Amino acid sequence: MKRFRRLRANENIRSLVRETRIDKGDLIYPIFIVEGENIKNPVESMPGVYQYSLDRADEVLQEINNSGIAGILIFGIPKRKDAEASSAYDDNGVTQCAIRYIKEKYPSLLVIADVCLCEYTSHGHCGVVCGGEILNDETLPLLSKMAVSLAKAGADIIAPSDMMDGRVAAIRQALDSNGLINIPILSYSAKFASAYYSPFRDAAQSAPEFGDRKSYQMDYANGKEALREIADDIAEGADMVMVKPALAYLDVVKEASQRFDLPLVAYNVSGEYAMVKAASEKGWIDEKKIVSENMIAIKRAGADIIITYHALDLAKWIDEYYK
């Protein structure tokens, strides 16, 4: 008789034949830096996540720096928003100042800068708006300026999340012509229009004032289109690609990992985090076990790197496990 159970008999054997592991070095932790002073605001829909002003951020930055995770994804929240998202590409904007500070104080910490206009526009859309429409080509120069400004401030990786067509090529060209030839682009290539982002929009104060993002983010019914988006971003010069959200899109992660050979990132987004936190606060699930299972699932599907709000907790749990 075939006895599969031989290799499940005890933890030593299970560990020996385990196919998938989470390494702290696979994890990226998103942080929210808000313009102002002495601010540490809990994000209600994301227990354990805070908006920090830069003067209070050392608390979390030190923890990140000592945790052994790969790095951070930074989102800045400006005081003033306008139709042109001017603080997005202001060299003294909240995000630029934060990056400069972080790279100075924690030089070995990898900083990925999200590039999108929605935190900076008064209307909350990811691009330039005219007559109720989100304009594609008019948005590209603003994204390019923003990318250059963030890279000059010290960002190690530029991550466009806006979903305008042609933005990877436009940003690559802008970086190159500013001498920033070695700054990689991590493209949010397959980014779906998802209800799983709503807690993030509280955290980043970036909910659209009218309408939704369906004219630029992808229809969640479309798996093949996601592969076309990824292929196109690679052709435009992306160095890494992303699928977002993660758990409801593991088919896309799997297919992308088999079809493309550059580093694949999955973003375990705010709503995925919020559901786990809410159920575990109620005592209905075991947070540690659920998070471990979810993260392993994302890696098993083929993601190389995971962006997750669980990253700091996970790093601690991994330390405990291997102690």
Residues found near ligand PBG in the complex (CB under 6 A): 114, 116, 118, 126, 161, 197, 200-201, 213, 269-270
Are the C-beta atoms of 109 and 72 separated by less than 8 Å? Answer: yes
Buried b / exposed e along 48-76 (16+ C-beta atoms within 10 A): ebbbbbbebbeebbeebbebebbbbbbbb
**Residue 316 contact partner, candidates ligand PBG, Zn ion, none, CB within 5 to 8 A by sort of partner:** none
**Which one, 49 or 126, has the nearer CB to Zn ion?**
126
The one among 98, 99, 116, 315 contacting Zn ion by CB under 5 A: 116
User: 283 is written with which tokens?
Assistant: 């005592």
Q: For the CB of residue 116, give the shortest distance to ligand PBG in the complex, in Å.
A: 4
**Residue 200 contact partner, candidates ligand PBG, Zn ion, none, CB within 5 to 8 A by sort of partner:** ligand PBG
Pairing of the two strands 27-34 and 50-52: parallel
**Type of residue at 268:** N
Terminal-to-terminal C-alpha distance of the chain: 38
Segment contacting Zn ion by CB under 5 A, of 44-52, 93-101, 117-125, 178-186: 117-125
Contacts of 244 (CB under 8 A, 6+ apart): 161, 188, 190, 191, 192, 194, 266, 267, 269
Peptide bond before residue 245 is cis, with ω within 30 degrees of 0 = yes
Length of the chain equals 323
Number of residues that bind Zn ion (CB under 5 A): 3
Q: For the CB of residue 190, give the shortest distance to ligand PBG in the complex, in Å.
A: 13
User: 191 is written with which tokens?
Assistant: 């980014």
**Which one, 18 or 270, has the nearer CB to ligand PBG?**
270
| 118 binds Zn ion, rule: CB under 5 A | yes
Segment contacting Zn ion by CB under 5 A, of 109-117, 241-249, 270-278, 301-309: 109-117
| 129 binds Zn ion, rule: CB under 5 A | no
Within 10 A of 178 (CB to CB), how many other CB atoms are there?
15
**Residue 229 contact partner, candidates ligand PBG, Zn ion, none, CB within 5 to 8 A by sort of partner:** none
| 218 binds Zn ion, rule: CB under 5 A | no
Q: For the CB of residue 16, give the shortest distance to ligand PBG in the complex, in Å.
A: 36
Footprint of Zn ion on this chain (CB under 5 A)?
116, 118, 126
